[in-house]
Structure 1
Amino acid sequence: MSDWNSALPDAAQAWLEGRRLDEVECIVADLAGVARGKAMPAAKFAKQPYFYLPNSIFLQTITGDWVDDGSDFTEPDMILRPDFETATAAPWTADWTLQVIHDIEDRDGNPIPVAPRNVLKRVVQLYNDRGWEPIVAPEMEFFLVARNIDPNQPVEPPMGRSGRRAAARQAYSMSAVDEYGTVIDDIYDFAEAQGFEIDGILQEGGAGQIEMNLRHGDPVKLADEIFYFKRLIREAALRHDCFATFMAKPIQDEPGSAMHIHHSVVDAKTGQNIFSNPDGSETPAFRHFIGGMQRHLPSVIAVMAPYVNSYRRYVRDHAAPINLEWASDNRTTGIRVPVSGPTARRVENRIAGMDCNPYLGIAASLACGYLGLVEQIEPRPAFAGNAYDLEPALPDGLGVALDQFAGAEAIREVLHPEFSRIYEAVKQVEYQEFLQVISPWEREHLLLNV
């Protein structure tokens, strides 16, 4: 690895120009999307071709407990190999530090199927094997909130520069964004140092809620960026005495935070969007992709909405979908076709929450579209009107969603059976843990009244 510096992306090399690298963080994403790994002096990193982590990091729940998956719990090591294309600055640290995402293999060099980045790579390869290249453009929504160090206390909006707390129902307001402009400035500065391109930042409908759009591109690279952005945004918020949260529904009576995913697919040989004919009309592939989403999305809601809190987002008239209808330029449907020219024709999946692992959320969404293309599934007719007038058609809780995931053989095969087995086991343990918790609502209304 003596020449690894030359393999760094331009942004990382520019950031290090004239400086001595102190530390390298060797990281991977676990099932929750949490960064796991090791930090080491740069000199030591340069001498090692790979590193080790135990496979148990994929058996850990969000609360830190461990799942007994039925195998011999000996915690064998996995091999981590650096993907130098992902090397990027950690500009909030006191010293000069790089972060590098690592690929995860077994001792024979085979990808570990449970690793989220490998799950997404597997789905992308299925497209590639048929001569297709999937393109995604994610939208990130998140809240800036006041520091909350007592989980028993409700989350509150942050204090703005005016001395007032951030106001709700101010979507697209520039003055609302200016209230916490110093945080936004640091987000821009950190993103520039890391070589990331932001298409735009805007105020969403919730108090302190922000939407950030990323450019379209390769699914794995965009998932890497979201993985990095979550850490970047949290660090920017902490500099200004507030928290950034990617919970699906952090504040009662406010909208939730989504990770909308825009999809298109191009022919690998011609580079043409397979959703559009030469005359600009819609192709059968366009309809089949939508049909696959309508049929298979219910099976992967447990991946796109991975926590009990996730289902609090699917509330009628709160800017979140409650169904799997599709329509052109209609934000009340779960599947939306934005206004665009033929070359940019795309399908927007509005189901995924911002609390999902970006690798897994994008992989699950692509898997549904892939099965639609392969199975040539015709969608229902485009919906006309306000889809909130329909009865809800999504699972109303994590338990129901996990039951649907458990029986979805086609989806589980696309994502990988071993991943699906482990993911389901981890989520079942988390769900059972939650069922042991007694909420303030129960104490207030049931303690003395029933």
Structure 2
Amino acid sequence: MGLTRREPQPERPHFLDARRGVRSMAEAGEWLRARGIEDVECITPDLAGVARGKMMPGKKFTGNTSLALPSALFMHTISGEYPDETGEFRYSPNDGDLKLVPDLSTLSAVPWETDPTAQVICDLVDTAGEAVAYTPRNVLKRVVSLYHERGWTPIVAPEIEFYLVSKNVDPDYPLTPPIGRSGRQISGGQAYSIGGVNEFDELIDDIYHFSDAQGLEIDTLIHEDGAAQLEINLRHGDPVELADQVFMFKRTIREAALKHDIYATFMAKPIQGQPGSALHIHQSVVDRKHGHNVFSLKDGGPSPLFFHFLGGMQRYVPAALVMMAPYVNSYRRLTHGMSAPTNNAWGYDNRTTAFRVPTSDASSRRVENRLPSSDTNPYLALAASLACGWLGMVNGVEPDQPTDRTVNEDGVISLPRGLLEAVAAFEAEEAFHDVFSREFVGTYAGIKRGEFETFMQVISPWEREFLLLNV
């Protein structure tokens, strides 16, 4: 009796096993069906970096469904209010639709949802199909394209600091560190402490598991100096991809913390007397044709473009600070004696400077921008930092001399001291109207002025303590 010959089975397409990203809507349909996905979250960051969008059934996502959001959604404050028109800030007269265009390279699972759910980051175009200039992902893409036009590719590696805090349902009460596995409230001074990290082992395991399920790669995780303050470092790569990852990591970390009945916060200065939280950005630039680091010469020494990039950072970052420190609270971090740089100095392996050049070989020569706070929209922080370096490179801006001293001890703060001062400097820099677009500068400045006016309506504990009975 002869054996039945089996037909060879077709090879399973590799994209079906991809944790992140497909190449076409046809592949997206198969990817969703293979996972039994019921819903798809079509999301995009607003100017604050908050995920906005729409949810739809998986079957409709792969159909010819048009998704739109009102333009006013990108013109409200962090508190959800719509500020008055000021300066060049104007609303669309008809609050017309902006179309969501899914970037299928960002398709991934939503691992904390109980029902099978996927998510995809979307770009925004107008009714004519043109990129909407004032939306964050498009702002960053515009800046990256300026590098490409010069034959360069920018490379970035973000470092994200955040605090874990006990649940706080009444904003009148200060935030406090959570209880760790030891049963005690964790204290400060735990920089690089493995024991500090181990206090939250199960939560950190969830962060890793959630990240892995989304195809997000963590390079390292450490405990920072603040009480229950952690830092996650990401691998270097394309600015838009890394901004997408920071955007997704913020969602992931918050969800993992909530699973353990605590909060994760990216406020720049959440706890009085504790260090603030930063979004440090490591930056280098690669020649698109030959692949070498343009910050280094053939002999391994620093190139003129390296110094011009530093010169651009020193010259333009103070005017762009509002894109890296976007809230009133951000400037509480940038104060004397609180670890964060309060200057626009640069130095070799000097963490007290705004712009640090880490020790490295020639191929890895880079500039670390230590000014952005973790409350910033990652797309806008990266756009601002890279734009300032680009302006320095194309305009041949020379930096001053590097410093090897502790530049935060003299009490001098050579940056805007508050939100309104930062907005004024931002609007006054004419170069930004070309680099970011005049439409974005006007929109962003108007929103920030509106947020300041909302803040001014709140009476603080300081005012009640010192003014109530003394003036």
Are 2:114 and 1:94 equivalent residues in the alignment?
A: yes
Indicate the residue corresponding to 1:50 in structure 2. Answer: 66
Indicate the residue corresponding to 2:324 in structure 1. Answer: 304
Are 2:152 and 1:137 equivalent residues in the alignment?
A: no
Distance 1:340 1:156 in 2: 38
In structure 2, relative to structure 1, the CA distance for the partners of 1:26 and 1:388 (3 Å cut) is: same
Indicate the residue corresponding to 2:104 in structure 1. Answer: 84
Corresponding pairs, count: 446
Distance 2:134 2:454 in 1: 22
Q: Contact between 1:141 and 1:211, CA under 8 Å: does it hold in 2? A: yes
Q: In angstroms, what is the RMSD of aligned CA positions?
A: 1.6
Deviations along 1:134-165, one digit per CA (max 9) or x if unpaired, are 00000000000000100000000011111111
Within the candidate set 375, 380, 388, 1:355 is matched to 375
Give how far 1:313 is off.
0.4
Indicate the residue corresponding to 2:51 in structure 1. Answer: 35
Within the candidate set 263, 274, 289, 1:243 is matched to 263
Deviating more after overlay: 25-34 vs 387-396:
387-396
In structure 2, relative to structure 1, the CA distance for the partners of 1:33 and 1:13 (3 Å cut) is: closer
Distance 2:399 2:419 in 1: 26
Indicate the residue corresponding to 1:11 in structure 2. Answer: 19
Q: Contact between 1:311 and 1:396, CA under 8 Å: does it hold in 2? A: yes
Give how far 1:13 is off.
7.8
Give how far 1:346 is off.
0.1
Give how far 1:405 is off.
0.7
> After the TM superposition, which residues 109-258 of structure 1 pair with which residues of structure 2 at under 5 Å, given as runs?
109-258=129-278
Distance 1:388 1:375 in 2: 29
Secondary structure in structure 2 of the residue aligned to 1:44: helix
Q: Contact between 2:21 and 2:105, CA under 8 Å: does it hold in 1? A: no
Q: Contact between 2:159 and 2:231, CA under 8 Å: does it hold in 1? A: yes
Indicate the residue corresponding to 1:295 in structure 2. Answer: 315
For 1:11, give the aligned amino acid: R
Percent identical? 53
Give how far 1:384 is off.
2.0
Q: Contact between 2:75 and 2:91, CA under 8 Å: does it hold in 1? A: no
Indicate the residue corresponding to 1:395 in structure 2. Answer: 416
Q: Contact between 2:90 and 2:443, CA under 8 Å: does it hold in 1? A: no
Deviations along 1:29-80, one digit per CA (max 9) or x if unpaired, are 0000000000111111121353111111111110010134434532100111
Indicate the residue corresponding to 1:316 in structure 2. Answer: 336
Greater than 4 Å deviation, 4+ residue runs = 5-9, 12-18
Deviations along 1:296-351, one digit per CA (max 9) or x if unpaired, are 00111111000000001012332210101000001000100001000000000000
Distance 1:227 1:438 in 2: 32
Indicate the residue corresponding to 1:371 in structure 2. Answer: 391
Secondary structure in structure 2 of the residue aligned to 1:280: coil
For 1:246, give the aligned amino acid: F
Are 2:469 and 1:448 equivalent residues in the alignment?
A: yes
For 1:392, give the aligned amino acid: I
Q: Contact between 2:347 and 2:353, CA under 8 Å: does it hold in 1? A: yes
Deviating more after overlay: 24-33 vs 390-399:
390-399
Give how far 1:406 is off.
1.4
Runs of 5+ in structure 2 lacking a partner?
A: 1-12, 23-30
Indicate the residue corresponding to 1:382 in structure 2. Answer: 402
Q: Contact between 2:20 and 2:105, CA under 8 Å: does it hold in 1? A: no
In structure 2, relative to structure 1, the CA distance for the partners of 1:7 and 1:53 (3 Å cut) is: farther
Distance 1:342 1:294 in 2: 22
Deviating more after overlay: 388-397 vs 10-19:
10-19
For 1:163, give the aligned amino acid: G
Deviations along 1:271-298, one digit per CA (max 9) or x if unpaired, are 0000001110000000000000000001
Deviating more after overlay: 406-415 vs 85-94:
406-415
Distance 1:8 1:65 in 2: 43
Indicate the residue corresponding to 2:25 in structure 1. Answer: none
Give how far 1:89 is off.
1.2
Q: TM-score, normalised by structure 2?
A: 0.92
Deviating more after overlay: 38-47 vs 136-145:
38-47
In structure 2, relative to structure 1, the CA distance for the partners of 1:269 and 1:13 (3 Å cut) is: closer
Secondary structure in structure 2 of the residue aligned to 1:11: coil
In structure 2, relative to structure 1, the CA distance for the partners of 1:374 and 1:388 (3 Å cut) is: same
Secondary structure in structure 2 of the residue aligned to 1:260: strand
Secondary structure in structure 2 of the residue aligned to 1:264: strand
Q: Contact between 1:9 and 1:87, CA under 8 Å: does it hold in 2? A: no
**Structure with larger Rg:** 2
Q: TM-score, normalised by structure 1?
A: 0.96
Q: Contact between 1:203 and 1:209, CA under 8 Å: does it hold in 2? A: yes
Q: Contact between 1:8 and 1:87, CA under 8 Å: does it hold in 2? A: no
Give how far 1:108 is off.
1.4
Distance 1:103 1:72 in 2: 19
Deviations along 1:122-143, one digit per CA (max 9) or x if unpaired, are 0000000000000000000000
For 2:379, give the aligned amino acid: Y
> After the TM superposition, which residues 322-337 of structure 1 pair with which residues of structure 2 at under 5 Å, given as runs?
322-337=342-357
In structure 2, relative to structure 1, the CA distance for the partners of 1:72 and 1:339 (3 Å cut) is: closer
Give how far 1:18 is off.
4.9
Deviations along 1:424-443, one digit per CA (max 9) or x if unpaired, are 00000001111111101101
Secondary structure in structure 1 of the residue aligned to 2:375: coil
Q: Contact between 2:72 and 2:91, CA under 8 Å: does it hold in 1? A: no
Deviations along 1:244-267, one digit per CA (max 9) or x if unpaired, are 000000000000000000000000
Distance 1:227 1:288 in 2: 30
In structure 2, relative to structure 1, the CA distance for the partners of 1:9 and 1:299 (3 Å cut) is: farther
In structure 2, relative to structure 1, the CA distance for the partners of 1:86 and 1:434 (3 Å cut) is: same
Within the candidate set 68, 75, 78, 1:62 is matched to 78
Give how far 1:389 is off.
2.7
Indicate the residue corresponding to 2:283 in structure 1. Answer: 263
Q: Contact between 1:135 and 1:266, CA under 8 Å: does it hold in 2? A: yes
Are 2:437 and 1:438 equivalent residues in the alignment?
A: no
Secondary structure in structure 1 of the residue aligned to 2:283: strand
